[in-house]
Each structure stands twice: as C-alpha cells, then as structure tokens.
Chain A
C-alpha cells in the first residue's frame, strides 16, 4: 500500500494579537462500485497530533468539539450507501469522550477531547491535547446497494488549532480514485495584523497584511513557529521573532511561492542554503526555534543575501546571544537591500512608507497648488494661448487683480520626479481657477491637500567589515549619495550596526527637500537640497532660475570637478554636449571609487548637486558606500604580542602574552629585581 506524504500542516494557529484565521485541509476521493456489495478502504491519517489553545476563544469553547477528520458522502445520488464501522480504528487523541455514536454515524472519526482539559483555561499556545493519531481502517466498511454507485469520500480536517506531525494519508484501497489534485488548504480571508507591542493593538505604527497562518508545534524542548506573512506593499517582506528566547536559534526562510521550499536554513547561526535572488522571493516564512510563541516584533523587509558571510553578519546583528526578555530583534534592523557591491533586484516607483516624521499642515487660501501630469499642463497651456480671443478676453478679465502682468497669476510651476498623488492626499477635479476665471479641463488636476510630503526611500543597514577598530574612521570612511542633494560624508559611529532609514521631506512651495537619515529610528543626519525643477513661465522666471542654477554650479559643482566627475561631466560643465555627459553619468558610481583608490589620499569632495534639472541625469536612488583600506594583520599577532586591551586585574587573570602599562608588585625581591620585573611586565611576558 502506497503512502502519500502530503507534508503539509493542518490547521492554523495565530498567537498574540492579530486576527485569527482558520484554514482547512481537505482531500477528496471518488469511487465507483458495481453490483452492490461492500467496498472497503484503508485510509486516514497517521502521525502525531497536538492541539493548542486558540487565541480565538470561539474555538476554545467547551461546547465545541474540534473535528479533525470527517468522512462524508456528498454527491452520492444512490440510496443505500452507508458507513459501517466494522473493524475500524478511529483516529483520536486525548480521551475518547467526544467520540459518540452519533459522531461515528455522521462520519466524524476523529475528535479532540477538549472538554476537560480546558478547565481551567490555559494560555494561548498551550497544549490542550497531544498524542499519536492512529491509522483508521475500514475494511469492507461501506455497504453498497444498487448496481452501480458513484460516491465521493471527503476527508476534511476542521480544527483550526491542530498540528499534525509526520503524518501521511494512506492511499485509498480498491476503486477509490483521488480526484482533488492535491491536498487543499482552504484559502482564508486575508486579515490585518497590527504591529504593536500590546495585545490591544495600542501603539500601532504599521499594519501588515497576513495571508495565511500556520501551526505551532510544541514539545518539551523547543517551540517552533511558522508564520507566513506578506505585507501589502510590493516587495515588503516580514521578519518576526518571539518575545522570549533562548540562546539558540534556528532561522529559516521559506519561499512559499515554490511549494514551501526552504530557501535558507541556518541552525544556530551556521550553515544554510543561500538563496538566489528571484522575483518571487517577496514572501517569506520565518521560522525560529524558541520557547515562547507570542509574536512580539514584526519587521518588513527580510534582507536577501547572496553571500553566506552576509547572512552570518546579519544574524549576528539581529540575534542577541544573551538570554533576555526584551525584544531580541532590534526594531529597525530591517534592511531593504543587499549589503554588497552587487546591485539589488530592480525596483521601480516610489513606495511611501508610514513615517515617524510629522507632516505639518498649512493651507493657503489666496492661491492653490495642483498636481498635474503632462497632458493636463499641456492642456492648460493650450487654453491660455488659445487663438480664440474670447477665451483670452475672459481670462484677462479674471486676472485684473494681477495688474499689468496677468501671468503673475501663475505663481509657480515646478516639476517633481515622483508621483505627487501617491504621496499627498489630493482631490481630483476637472477645472481650475485663474484669479476669478474658471477654466474647464478635459484632464484631471489634483488639488494638493498639503504643501509638503514625506517620502520613505527605504532602509539599509551598515554592516561592519572587520568588527573591530578598523570599522571606524580613519580606517573606514562612510558616504551617502542623495539624489538632488549630493554626496555627503557621514559619521560612521552614528550608524554602526544600525538600520539607516532615509526619508525625503519635500516642500512643494519652494521645491526644496530635506533628506533625513534615521539611525534606529533616531534622526542622525539631515541634508538639504532642491528637488523641484522650476519651469519658466516668463522671462523673469527664466532669468532668475538660470542665474540661480549658474550660481550653484559655480559655487559647488565646479569645485568638485577635479575629484569627482568624469571627463564627460566636466565637458558639459564646460559647455560640452549632453550626449557625452550622459555617458559619463552612467559611470557615476564606478567613478566614485576610481577616484578614491586610497584612503590615504582620498579625494571625495562633498558637494551639492547644484541644479535639480541636472540632477535628474544622476542616479535617482540613494546609496551609501564605505571605503576602507586593505590591511595586513599578522596571523600570529594574538599569540606573539597579544591584542590591545585596557583591562585591569591581576597577572593570573590573563593567559598567553601579557604586556602591562602599569604594575603594582608586592614581593620580597630586591629593588633591582623588582625593577627588572617591572621592565619585563611592561615589555611583555608569557603566562
């Protein structure tokens, strides 16, 4: 008899403070029996089962037994089919009080006895019942009357808080043919989980989309928790960890889009299959080996690594070796990207994150701002400069308030390199007022509800290279390139082993921006720039704008030519053609490093981008880069001359080489000998 290992989890479990889901397992078989008589089969589930206290009290009800196995005869059109439990062993764990004759008749073969064991109620996740789930066998159990009967057999599991371990379906004997393609786990309604440290959901900062939940598994040693979570935002991944922990961790990343394949497994921080970057690695299950199952921290964006060392480094950062009841994952350690020299998977579009930064409110009643796409602005321009003089006449009437130059009514027109509608609350309309003149439009214009916005550019984590003093200046230098702002040097100590979050605050009134860099959610740096590209409406605008740009270039950009730009960029700064410059800009990142071959003579120039329009040709994403020297450290240094320390104690507290800066010796030796001992200790001895 063949066994089919379905290797799936049955039921679902959700702890803590997020919504409970109730997946259901079901498999169907179809049988045909000719000429009446009895048919039989051996089937069911074998393995171990464990039932947990559900977070949803509905399913802990004393009045509600939890069926885990049901045989039904749906779609049977012929009379006379009934289930006869001759030679049957019923699958059940716990005590069998729940298995009544009525249940047997109804085909409910396996029932968890939850009645007695829930009094007094236990905590969420506690084991209610556990034990082997036996094979059930029905030999000649189905008596069929009639000459030809089609019937169906469904085996369903309907207990939401069950984990079946190492269980298998026995294949159905005889004429039964499996008709469901595979074990079906019922789609559960998506629900939201709240990122909060409290069961009540207070202190919520973000909410995540949960697609399905899986079971927990408890034994006397460890608890494993499997949870699949995706966030609603594209490319957002989730990382979770339990509130309490031991010093041991098994961490696994699953790719659920590929049949629940383990794509990375790390046991106690060692080993593991390193995943390759794939498009569908957007959804993960993160499994940890912990004692307590309550979820305390959710983070988006599990990093994707392409190097095992980076995996180890990351885990060393996020997993604390010490036993602690505090959160063991630092909240902010959720980088979006690979910390290597290879590029990340392609990203497009601006993803707006919820931000800790305040967005202030102001509204100007004498003028209004609208976000428009190109067709809309083109339509407005066409209307103003329409050959129909009646339109212009009406427009001029509406603009009398603006005196000699009616174009002063258009106070500002600025281009922004992002979808304004997606970052600011807008109201769509099909007309716009110029003074008191109402211009009807075919295209939508979007009234801006706020004069500024915040754009979350993502997170990266600064991963130390050496894990010692060389990770800091002057041995390592840390820079950030910010679109529309430029290259700036950062103090590496502000970001060491911390998550960097970059947010752009953009002022639509002036077109300026401030890039705020947070280190573990604390503002560490900010830099200002100009992101809005002013569009000239009149010659006055043009002159003012061009002079401003020219001044910026003169003051800032040209000073950087020697150290930074490619010859092509220098070319355009010196009046060359744009085509050459474009090629040069493509080499931007590479050129940074070519010009900084040595920290000993590093030439990185801190400068602003000057013109926002020119900045549009530069990289449109921010990136950090560390530059550090290669070094030679003697392999036997530690044994021969030790490593630096400044610890105090007695000589006997140390082993191996010891060199002392200060010595206090009490001895009966002579003064000369004492002096010699001092000299030896200060030059180094071996203990």
Chain B
C-alpha cells in the first residue's frame, strides 16, 4: 500500500483543536506489513532525501488523519512513530458535537462556585450603617407611664 506522508512542525498545544502547522516535506511511502490508521511506524530513508528532524506532526491524506510524530534515528534512517491526533483529524465532527460545558473561557457563569479560587486565611469586612439613631440622653427620649384612671 502506497501513501504520501506530509511532515509538519507545530508548536500548538496537544489539546488545541486547531493546530498551526508549518509544512516541512513530503515522502511517498509503501507499506509492506499491515498498518493501522491510528498508529503506525515508518522508516524513512528514501532516495537521498533526509528526514527533517524538526518534524513533530504529520498528515496522511489516504487515511485523512493527522498524527503526532515521534522518531528515532539509526544509521541515517529515521524511524517515525505516528500516533493519530483525533482533534485535528475529526475537527469538523467535534465542532458540531453536542456538549454540556463545564468550564469555558468564552461563556461562563460567575455565580457558580469555582474550585480554582482558593481562600486565604485573612478576612475582610464592610460595614453599612443605618442612618437613624436612638437617643439615650435626657432630651430626645421619653418616659411612658400607664396609669389606671379615666
């Protein structure tokens, strides 16, 4: 089975749905053993082309999947282990997936408790005083007497 692998360099996070890619080079490959589209190992030593060691990401159009790349060098040949990145590979499916969000940067509810907020053992206080006051002096206060009689 022949297929083409495109190698990229990316600095995006592993869990970025959209990864920024810089294309490095492409290789045509032929599989001599059964391979899985989710994880495969390639040995690249092809026609004088040299594997670019900046490669950390790849795309195989025949599988319509993106891969994280891990490689080993041995006597001028690169042994690349490709592990599927399902986020990039199925990005459109994921974008249309129905979800219930637990945390979000864009849409959040400030009145839900947040476990990332940690209490300091320091309290503060605010005081609001009602305006009117009782008077305990001779002026401004009164006795009330209840007396039997008409």
Contact = CB atoms under 8 A, between A and B. Distances in A.
Contact of A414 (B125, B135, B143): B143
Given A458-B132, A645-B103, A662-B100, A600 B15 contact: no
Nearest to B120: A630
A232 to B, nearest CB: 16
Contacts of B131: 235, 336-337, 344, 347, 351, 457-459, 621
A562 B121 CA distance: 21
B124 interface: yes
Interface stretch (B1-9, B41-49, B69-77, B110-118): B110-118
B94 interface: yes
B38 interface: yes
B129 A348 contact: no
B133 to A, nearest CB: 4
Interface in A639-654: 639, 641-654
Interface stretch (A25-33, A385-393, A468-476): A468-476
Nearest to A602: B123
Interface of B: 13, 15-18, 37-38, 84, 86-87, 89-90, 93-114, 116-136, 138-150
Interface residues of A, number: 145
Interface of A: 235, 335-341, 343-344, 347-351, 365-374, 376-377, 380, 398, 401-402, 408-421, 432-437, 448, 455-463, 465, 467-470, 472, 475, 483-484, 502, 508-509, 531-532, 535, 589, 593, 596-600, 602, 616, 620-634, 637-639, 641-670, 672-674, 676-677, 680-681, 683-687
B101 A646 contact: yes
Contact of B98 (A366, A638, A650): A650
A660 B105 contact: no
Given A623-B127, A628-B123, A652-B96, A643 B104 contact: yes
A166 B40 CA distance: 81
Nearest to A482: B130
A458 B84 CA distance: 68
Nearest to A336: B131
Given A337-B129, A412-B146, A463-B126, A643 B120 contact: no
Given A642-B108, A644-B113, 12 more contacts: A339-B126, A349-B132, A469-B112, A626-B125, A641-B103, A643-B105, A655-B106, A658-B104, A660-B101, A660-B102, A665-B94, A680-B15
21 contacts: A337-B128, A343-B129, A350-B135, A372-B145, A380-B145, A410-B146, A411-B148, A421-B142, A475-B119, A508-B146, A532-B144, A629-B124, A630-B120, A631-B120, A637-B116, A646-B100, A646-B112, A658-B106, A659-B104, A663-B97, A665-B93
A370 B148 CA distance: 11
Contacts of A599: 119, 123
Contact of B147 (A421, A434, A633): A434
Contact of A625 (B17, B125, B142): B125
A370 B144 CA distance: 5
B93 to A, nearest CB: 4
A645 B53 CA distance: 42
B35 to A, nearest CB: 14
A659 B101 contact: yes
Contacts of B94: 651, 665, 667, 677, 681
A616 B147 contact: no
Nearest to B108: A643
A578 to B, nearest CB: 14
Contacts of A467: 110
Contacts of A669: 86, 89-90, 93
A644 B90 contact: no
Contacts of A409: 147-149
A532 B121 CA distance: 41
A468 B110 contact: yes
Contacts of A502: 130
A629 B122 contact: yes
Given A460-B130, A468-B110, A599-B123, A657 B103 contact: yes
Contacts of B145: 369-370, 372, 377, 380, 410, 412-414
Given A349-B140, A666-B97, A344 B111 contact: no
A643 B110 contact: yes
Contacts of A641: 103, 116
A429 to B, nearest CB: 13
Contacts of B148: 366-367, 401-402, 408-411, 434-435
A656 B129 CA distance: 44
B52 to A, nearest CB: 26
Contact of A687 (B18, B89, B100, B143): B18
Nearest to A621: B133
Contacts of B121: 598, 600, 629
CB-based closest 10 A-B pairs = A656-B105, A458-B131, A643-B108, A667-B93, A642-B103, A468-B110, A433-B149, A644-B112, A460-B128, A420-B142
Q: Which one of A340, A462, A483, A646 has the highest number of Cβ atoms from chain B below 10 Å of its Cβ?
A: A646
A649 B101 contact: yes
B31 to A, nearest CB: 18
Given A625-B127, A630-B122, A648 B98 contact: yes
Contacts of A463: 126, 128
A651 B146 contact: no
A350 B90 contact: no
Given A372-B145, A616-B136, A645-B108, A661 B101 contact: yes
A672 B109 CA distance: 33
A672 B38 contact: yes
B107 to A, nearest CB: 5
Contacts of B96: 650-652, 666
